[in-house]
């Protein structure tokens, strides 16, 4: 009984903090995480999209970045955009549907984006490129470090800029060792987006978010609750 109680307490305690996903997307400078859409938006153009990978991945593993046109729909007249100097459009390097591009793979979840026109960019990590571990939602830190790969994105070619009705939504994923299904992907709450227009939000995300003691209060409440739980179901 005591062993079961201890396991329950450890599990409940583990849910009191944000976990850092194994894959995340961020905007390297001036990014804003929107709590409504749960997406990090760029606030300027061009911008640096940053892919973040946990140390559990290896240098030889291939990752995939999806750059998708939003809003979705089979409209090929959205213009073009550049990633690391390569231009993508409906007639160059893109297709309509749901990633991954390999038809034998299981599709990524639609999450309000797909099916649409998208480009898929394959890349691998550089073990020499690391940053201190953090969660893109609030930039809270974590133990150890993360690998990162940066992409320079330019959306000036999207139709109707600087007030285009189109934007780019980014997903990050990788395949399993057998190469026959998506093995891991950035949670949809850790995706990134260019936003509509060259500048879409006025203020960058602060590196530290003040909460007036709310976090401490929640943690304190959790500790009190756990102690009460232990007394109630885990007698000495």
What is the rounded average pLDDT of the residues 201-221? 38
Q: Is residue 147 part of a domain?
A: yes
Where is pLDDT greater, at 234 or 149?
A: 149
Confidence of residue 199 (pLDDT cuts 50, 70, 90): very low
Q: What average pLDDT does the chain have?
A: 78
User: What pLDDT, on the 0 to 100 scale, is given for residue 176?
Assistant: 65
What is the rounded average pLDDT of the residues 182-210? 62
User: What pLDDT, on the 0 to 100 scale, is given for residue 194?
Assistant: 95
Contact 155, 134 (CB under 8 A): no
Q: Is residue 146 part of a domain?
A: yes
Reply yes or no on whether the pLDDT at 226 is more than 50.
Answer: no
Q: Is residue 16 part of a domain?
A: no
User: What pLDDT, on the 0 to 100 scale, is given for residue 156?
Assistant: 95
Range of weakest confidence among 111-120, 140-149, 208-217:
208-217
Confidence of residue 19 (pLDDT cuts 50, 70, 90): confident
Range of the domain at 47: 21-212
DSSP string over 208-236: S---TTHHHHHHHHHHHHHHHHHHHH---
User: What pLDDT, on the 0 to 100 scale, is given for residue 62?
Assistant: 87
Q: Is residue 225 part of a domain?
A: no
User: Please, what is the angle between helix 214-233 and helix 2-14, to 10°?
Assistant: 170
Q: Count how many domains the chain has.
A: 1
Q: Is residue 221 part of a domain?
A: no
* Residue 101 DSSP one-character state: S
Reply yes or no on whether the pLDDT at 6 is more than 50.
Answer: no
Handedness of CA 124, 129, 132, 136 (dihedral sign): negative
Contact 120, 66 (CB under 8 A): yes
pLDDT tens, residue by residue, 96-118: 999 887 776 667 778 889 999 99
Q: Is residue 106 part of a domain?
A: yes
pLDDT tens, residue by residue, 173-185: 987 665 555 567 8
Reply yes or no on whether the pLDDT at 235 is more than 90.
Answer: no
Reply yes or no on whether the pLDDT at 91 is more than 50.
Answer: yes
Number of Cβ within a 10 Å radius of residue 129: 13
Q: Is residue 97 part of a domain?
A: yes
Q: Is residue 4 part of a domain?
A: no
Number of Cβ within a 10 Å radius of residue 10: 10
């Amino acid at each position: 009984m005591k062993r079961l109680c201890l396991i329950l307490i450890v599990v409940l305690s583990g849910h009191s903090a944000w976990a850092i996903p194994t894959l995340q997307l961020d905007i390297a400078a001036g990014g804003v995480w929107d709590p409504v859409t749960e997406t990090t938006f760029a606030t300027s153009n061009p911008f640096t999209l940053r892919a973040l990978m946990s140390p559990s991945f290896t240098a030889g593993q291939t990752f995939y970045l999806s750059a998708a046109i939003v809003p979705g729909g089979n409209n090929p007249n959205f213009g073009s955009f550049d990633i690391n100097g390569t231009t993508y459009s409906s007639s160059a390097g893109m297709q309509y549907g749901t990633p991954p591009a390999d038809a034998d793979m299981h599709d990524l979840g639609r999450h309000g984006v797909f099916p649409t026109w998208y480009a898929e960019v394959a890349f691998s990590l550089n073990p020499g490129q690391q940053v201190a571990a953090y969660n893109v939602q609030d930039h809270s830190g974590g133990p150890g470090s993360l690998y990162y790969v940066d992409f320079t994105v330019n959306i000036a070619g999207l139709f109707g800029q600087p007030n285009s009705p189109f934007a780019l939504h980014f997903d990050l994923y990788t395949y399993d060792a057998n190469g026959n299904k998506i093995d891991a992907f950035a949670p949809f709450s850790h995706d990134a987006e260019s936003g509509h227009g060259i500048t879409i939000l006025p203020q960058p995300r602060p590196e530290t978010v003040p909460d007036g003691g709310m976090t401490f209060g929640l943690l304190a409440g959790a500790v009190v609750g756990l102690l009460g739980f232990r007394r109630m179901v885990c007698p000495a």
